[in-house]
Structure 1
Amino acid sequence: MSLEKYDYISEIENVKSSWKLKVRVLSIWKMMYELQMIVMDEKCDKIGAVVKQALCPDFEKDLEVGAVFMISRFGVGDNKGKYPVYMHKLKLNFYRNTSLRRVCSFYGPKNAFQFMPFSQVWDKKDHPNLLIDLIGRIVDCGDLKPYEKEDGGEGKRLNIEIEDADNLKLKCTWWDEYAQQMHDFIDGNKNGGPVVLIIQFGKIKYWKASSSQGAGQLSSKVQSVHDDFLTMPKMTIGEVIDATKPAICVVLATITSVEERPGWNYISCRKCKKKVVKKSAFDLESIEESVGKNDEDDGKLYCSKCKGVASSVVPSYKVQVRVQDGSDTTSFVMFDREVTKLLRMSAVQLIEKQIEEGDEDTLPGVFKTLEEKRILFMINVSSYNIDTVYQVYTVTKISNDPSIMAEFDNNQPGDDDQDDDHGGDFEKAGNSNTGFLTLKDVTSYTGDSSNALEATSETAASPLKCPVDAVEDDGIGENSSTKKKMFVPVKIEK
């Protein structure tokens, strides 16, 4: 039996109409007067196609994202409209007699992503109709919030922040069904790892200093980790210890050891990462409307930031390390986001590993890998540190990017005595198994507030190193507000 012959998108011209294409449907969406889609052939070339409103009943029931079709008797027109379907000079027009036949074979990928580095997004402000693909790790996510639409109806929006392999960030706002879809996914994920987000066919729109993605209705702004660390005040450990005013500063230092006391994990609210406590330890006056004034313990755990019962809890890192540079030594405390970034495993995963190995009562050996690592620490020198001469400083962010550390070194005055032997110990972002180095937290957990101790693998088998009501109030909620963590890839398409 002879193979069926067909053409490729690269061969299409608008000088004739006797074309036959075998394509996979990548995306379908409805406009006011037509149905639009993007299709791809076996050579991974893409083109837009349009079905006019009057013909939608004839084709809409058969079209499906991911399905492969043999298409013939269609029109080919110039793609010169105000809102082109895809950045191709031509587009396909469906007619009443267009043949649409579903087939099984397709010698090409399911998707052919062309991921754009975040650094190039801003450069595309003069191409408002360009559709782009982005991939990034969700590092922050807010709550689902209502807003009033222009027609008087109520919509929903969700703020998120994603980070690419170069540590560049996009601050985004998702609207309506995309906001709900993202929120529901994050809400239903229980395994405590990071979420990798793929945005396909995002359309960029710019106003003022922001950009937005039309496909997901994202409003975005690029922010560089490079700028974060090289524009903040630089200090040595000696200068930090001698500080007389509160400050956020950057210190380049080497970890010499991980301190066993005061332990390495605590039980946190999954939603905001704040420590949870028993009712008797709670500030009842601030939440008397939601909790009540009775201070007797009721077996539930409470979150002061969320002002009520913690609907779900999860172990989180709190690791105190001893650090040094050429000027002095001191202690830094790192929380869940930073420690997970360095160890490349969540606290839940490490606890489960300890249980499997029957070694629950000792400091995990993986912490030894942190010793002799040279890192850029962004720390908070608080009023409490200064007033009480308390020399344990909270880390708010870290970077081990060799290029950033090298530039920091070159701009750092008086650091000639510092040890440079470990300047290249860490892989650059993007060399980890997931393609990203930074692991941060993601947000908006809502659940049954009456079930504070949800029975999951994360909570049932979580050996605490100290009672939950004895965990030090470390301000983790302030440093990672309304965030939680996931590990599952999610794809949002137009």
Structure 2
Amino acid sequence: MLRPVAFLRDINEKKDFWKVAVKVTDKWSVVKDGMEHMEMVIVDAKGTDIQVIIPTAYRAEYEKLIKVNSTYTLSNFQVFPNDLVFKASDNKYKLKWTGGTTAVDANVHDIPLPNMKFKPLAEIIAGKWRADLLVHVIGYVHEIGYCQVMAGTGKKLQVNFLMKDLSDISLNCTLWEDYAAKFIKFNNENKETGPIIVMLKYGKIKEEGKYPLSVTNTYSATKLLINEDIAEIKRFRESLPKDDQLMSQTQLVCTQSQSSSQFITDDDLLSNPLIMPLADILQLQEISYCVTVAEVEKVNSTKFGWYYFACFKCGKIAKGDNPPYTCESGHNTETEIVRYKLDLNVSYENTKGTFVMWDREATQLLGISAAQLRTNMIQAGITNRLEYPMLLDGIGEKTYVFKVKWQPKWKTTSVVCYRDADALVNLVKAKFPNAKVIPLLNESVGVDKPNDNTSLTEEVTMSAQELSGTAENDPDTLSQLTPISDKLQLKLNKDPSFDIPTPMTLVQPVMLPNPPLFEEIIPAKQSSSKRVKVIKTEKK
């Protein structure tokens, strides 16, 4: 008697002699413990799907035979509970290929592909998801965040962006390695108009912890599709609102940053080797990443205004009255990619300075993107970039913990990240040295050659005179020298040979290449062979 064809919903563990007519929807290879096996998802005419494991012993034979979107009659396989760590199907069972399994009747059956079931971003944010179940998501790229565009020692290719769906709900998305490389390549070569639509099949949801809630790729099962000519992406594009603001987001900056606010924890800040007050930072002779506390007095007005247009390819300033806007590297940008650049007047105790806050941190602080804020002002009849939004008035008279990049050659201090928690402010202050410590330079410091293909969205701009974020209004206290105390002066009068510890004994600073500022440069280090000069302060 001929064995009848069963449906996948009827399969159970009671026997192995099942016969099913199915279509292969997806397949992929998995390497585990140095062994490679194949996995796939199959679906029957009723729309029921199930995950199949083809062990290493049979992979080579069936890898070429089994094709995606083809139909087969499968017979004789083992049925097990679906205990996979990451499940591509929510079926309670999984199938395992054996030496007796057969795949025949290629493309005989008429089995339609089921409609893709996308996970709404609102459900992910609401916590309606399973950590072990892979999901399909679709959305357009609203804004690109931190990217690691160059792989290196201990660093993997990485892209982070904000994805929005048709309900205007946004979610962080992180792509790694091959998936990140595919996105970077597409973004750099993209010449299309309209939004970038990303579809992730079998994406993994990562719960909020050290980093925000996000969807990411697995290293084998996930399928990444970007603006591809398929029905799902076409339907999504046709359903998007046809407003100009959305359509202006076609070319997005994907640049490499050494740090990002969302990836720096409070513990990272407190463990920074250079935690010091503002006065000490302004005396450093090397490019340094420091953590400090400062009060923001106000946003300083400059001749450049509060925003600039960024190049879609390298992140530098794109100039021009009308599109295409051109950066100094010669790249043409057809759309207006608006980015913040705010000069903050800051102070701590008796020292004043200027911190340059770039787009990511300013967006985080203000709660609105530069593009949206500019759109709001244009709608209100304000088109002059020198007309500063009233929203900026609320930044002043607040104290923050800042991680900054100090560049003595150009006398600029750029904000890498900030925190406004009072408890953290007090913890950082407690770590300030009682004496002013001036680290000595190494006798030789290596400086990496800038990578022409890599730039920071934030640390870009202008000519040599304009590179300082404080080009128009530099503070008077850019170089703070500790005065000689009365006790020290008395000792000097008694013993003229007494060696006065002074900042002027510092080794000459390393002369770095000319700008741009977006080159990768190692932070300051203390010499391992010289003692630190300590200048004691007089107790009042």
- Compute the TM-score of the two structures, normalised by the length of structure 2: 0.46
Query: More strand by proportion, 1 or 2?
Result: 1
- Compute the TM-score of the two structures, normalised by the length of structure 1: 0.50
